[in-house]
Structure 1
């Protein structure tokens, strides 16, 4: 992923199954971490490469057990809400969430809300401006809002989709400072 402003690359990032790397040329900072970085940033415990991929592509990124969710139709399309708290277990801890997913009439994901039942932490991911590109429906805009013990938002606007194989050499200049989220 490259972020450009006025034809100059200002940020760069890469995600692999092992973790994420990113650098901000404007502040001369970088991250190089496993997915604990994203989990800490977003106040969740379940992020891995597949989850990140699904979030960026507008796919359902939480496991849905049909008997534990209720599907209803509304004016926008469909709403799927958890009837019971959903336990997400990872190596280190178990967290419980109330989950709501909203889809439009084309079954494009509009919004996902995860509310931690034992803390004020909440993650809200919204999708808009869906387009069909090479036979695949993709969101142009992804908005991630983090509420609770940390408050933040991440706005992604996909202005160009390219389906060609890409060589992604990545290195960080020695003068950059590493960012840590604890």
Structure 2
């Protein structure tokens, strides 16, 4: 049940579209024209949009158990709020994420979470989640702080590769992990994979991105796969269906009679 709750949270956090889009071609890298600074500038850039409505499907697997596909709707109000709704025929859960708070309620157990990012980082045994990192992950951008002095640059199999020079410490207390980080980008500077691995504890965080699409001159991944491995392995595969440039008009209110939940 613990992992199902974690992935109910994560499912609402991650998704995107295929309406009014075109596929961008991946080109072979011209080694002589590669500019390492341009790679770092691209990976640290953000997508400049104002409002997005996003529809997607999410498939969740925990261990050997697969769960029914969940329908997602997200509204992104750039820099201000991410509003999400998850349903499986009937509504399952709703979330509101702002720079200050993370709020979620689920209808089956009539419970809710009203907390900050420190709690969410502790829950997931990480330390890099904040509003900007979630917004970046949703839109196919890097969700870690990347500085050139901490990474070795190379080109492998027609991809740009960044590998951490030393281990990146994540978490705190007994949950500390020392991850080796490897980041891959295609020849168009699109993020393809972020892999964080701690072999000592057999711990893994892996986010991989599929083909990229153009929507209103911005590039978004067509699908995302998220793998978390610690005591057991769990994954989410996201398939994107539709984007719209729509401002959120739906409020977020925790229903009366719901009980605040603490997850240990």
**Alignment TM class, shorter chain as reference:** 0.7 to 0.9
Report if the CA contact (8 A) 1:40-1:181 is conserved. no
Aligned match of 2:182: 100
Q: Which consecutive residues of structure 1, in runs of 5 or more, have no partner in the other structure?
A: none
> Please, what TM-score do these two structures have when normalized by structure 2?
0.58
1:84 is matched with which residue: 152, 163, 166?
166
Query: 1 CA distance for matches of 2:199 and 2:130?
Result: 22
Aligned length: 179
| Residue in structure 2 matched with residue 123 of structure 1 by the alignment | 205
With over 3 angstroms needed to count, the CA separation of the structure-2 counterparts of 1:27 and 1:98, relative to structure 1, is same
Give secondary structure in 2 for the equivalent of 1:98.
strand
CA shift at 1:59, angstroms? 0.6
Larger RCO (alpha carbons 8 Å, 6+ apart) = 2
Q: Provide the rounded CA distance (Å) in 2 between the counterparts of 1:82 and 1:123.
A: 15
- Greater shift in the superposed pair: 170-179 or 130-139: 170-179
Counterpart position of 1:73: 155
TM-score by length of 1: 0.80
C-alpha distance 169-128 of structure 1, shift in aligned 2 (>3 A): same
Q: Who wins on radius of gyration, i.e. which is larger? A: 2
Distance 2:130 2:200 in 1: 22
Change (3 A) 1:11 1:50: same
Find the counterpart in structure 2 of residue 55 from structure 1: 137
Quote how far apart the aligned CAs of 1:119 are: 4.0
Matched residue, 2:86: 3
Find out whether 1:23 has 2:123 as its counterpart. Answer: no
Is 1:169 the counterpart of 2:251? The answer is yes
Cα contact 1:125–1:143 (8 A) shared by 2: yes
More displaced 10-residue stretch of structure 1: 64-73 or 152-161: 152-161
- RMSD value over aligned CA atoms? 2.8
* Structure with more of its chain in helix, by fraction: 2
- Matched residue SS, 1:67: helix
CA shift digits 1:27-61 (9 cap, x unpaired)? 43432221134313432112111111111111112
Contact 2:210 2:224 in 1 (8 A): yes
